[in-house]
Chains A and B, each alone.
Chain A
């Protein structure tokens, strides 16, 4: 199986702070790859790097063997038409109806007739179960529905790669179940390549083909969900089991408590 995306010894710094220190990973075509890790380690940043919205400090990111950071803007825009991203907030355009939101990328990039666009949009909405909500404004949707609408928009142009940014964060169990089912279905039906960035272990283990675990600026574990479960790394186990203390300390770095209170 081919690698759709290859990340090669990537280092990324934001100001003085290092977010990634020399990481490498591959995303295989047609597979669902999960990237897991604790909050605040810049998982969203990874997706933005793949999408070319940020440039790495060093290292390279390749899409079908073509280096994204070195692309010209016009070429990058062409490549982006084959990608799409589901943002954590959904990022629906608040001044348009759900229908227009989903029609938006089609109208921007094609010259199809309104009638045809209507058919396509309603089909996409049907796929996420929101055909009845076509005429609502995004503000009238619940969080889970907004994310489903955003999902419909991100598959509007039938991309090859979808990047999900925390798709399950802040969802109730039912919406979470719906989203897991949808992502699975869409991948199987459309033969999509997916990257799911998340910290919801249980859900993502059920849909991922391959898992990377990021922590402390590095990849600390990778493999199929089964291999990950068997991993003997303390860090991986702490993350999977959700233990409060372990290699990732409970306390934010501070001086010794005795020193703080006793002024020693």
Chain B
């Protein structure tokens, strides 16, 4: 009986959290856009986007290099090392670009967003905004949400592009795959709509979900040191799980049925 009540209570808690999260999201998205918000959003793009650039570029480079190295050792057995280009490009564009960017973004920018908003709550800055008749959803949450949704797809594209260059570095410059075939077979295999755009759509969805979770976890955190640290951890865990789960769903929709 006790277990049943516990299950019921935790289900209700989850639903009420989902309700609050939706409320935060709607409040932020629906808030009347103001000209004053544009500089705020640009500033947040700097914080969540530009400051994540270095980690994205370095990771992209290394992942591209590793894939070229791994792919080469397998493909060369079949004399098919010419297919290295499409292998690297397709894995990056379809999967690794959006997914790894989203995971890195959750760790780098998402956790920072949660902690920042949580601390604003703990130091009464959010309350004080409300008392100044300034809606914190509009002033604090909305610019951060938009900045995340704008920044992450750009980061994912940069990630893929850098990864393809990294693959070129290892595959062509070190292992001696023909540069012409690296690019040309890649070109004849990769489709703009099918691969590039689908990957882009994926990363927009991930951006939305990760930023939403990060912001909500901060906004809904218990304003104590433990509360904020728990919220930050939850942001990373929940957004990583959400990204991986959604990735499967989106992949099934986009590439599953031919």
Contact = CB atoms under 8 A, between A and B. Distances in A.
Interface of A: 48, 51, 53, 77-78, 80-81, 83-85, 87-89, 91-94, 104-105, 107-109
Given A88-B124, A91-B123, A94-B123, A53 B131 contact: yes
B124 A80 contact: no
Nearest to A77: B133
A114 to B, nearest CB: 13
A108 B134 contact: yes
A81 B129 CA distance: 11
Given A108-B36, A108-B139, 17 more contacts: A48-B127, A51-B130, A51-B131, A53-B131, A77-B135, A78-B133, A80-B130, A80-B132, A85-B127, A85-B131, A87-B124, A87-B127, A91-B127, A92-B125, A104-B132, A105-B134, A109-B133
Interface of B: 36, 123-125, 127-128, 130-135, 139
A93 B125 contact: yes
13 contacts: A51-B130, A53-B127, A53-B130, A80-B130, A80-B132, A81-B133, A87-B127, A87-B128, A88-B124, A105-B132, A107-B36, A108-B134, A108-B139
Contacts of A107: 36
A94 B125 contact: yes
B123 A89 contact: yes
A164 to B, nearest CB: 12
Contacts of B130: 51, 53, 80
A216 B55 CA distance: 55
Nearest to B34: A108
A109 B132 CA distance: 9
Q: Which 10 A-B pairs have the closest CB atoms?
A: A91-B128, A80-B133, A91-B124, A77-B133, A85-B131, A87-B124, A81-B133, A105-B132, A91-B125, A108-B134
A211 to B, nearest CB: 24
Nearest to B139: A108
B124 A84 contact: no
A109 to B, nearest CB: 7
Contacts of A88: 124
Contacts of A77: 133, 135
A81 B139 CA distance: 16
A89 B134 CA distance: 19
Contact of B131 (A83, A89, A104): A83
Contacts of A108: 36, 132, 134, 139
B80 to A, nearest CB: 54
A84 B131 contact: yes
Contacts of A109: 133
Contacts of A83: 131
A87 B130 CA distance: 12
A108 B135 CA distance: 10
Nearest to A138: B123
Contacts of B123: 89, 91, 94
Nearest to A86: B128
A152 B139 CA distance: 21
A84 B125 CA distance: 13
Nearest to A92: B125
A213 B128 CA distance: 25
A51 B134 CA distance: 13
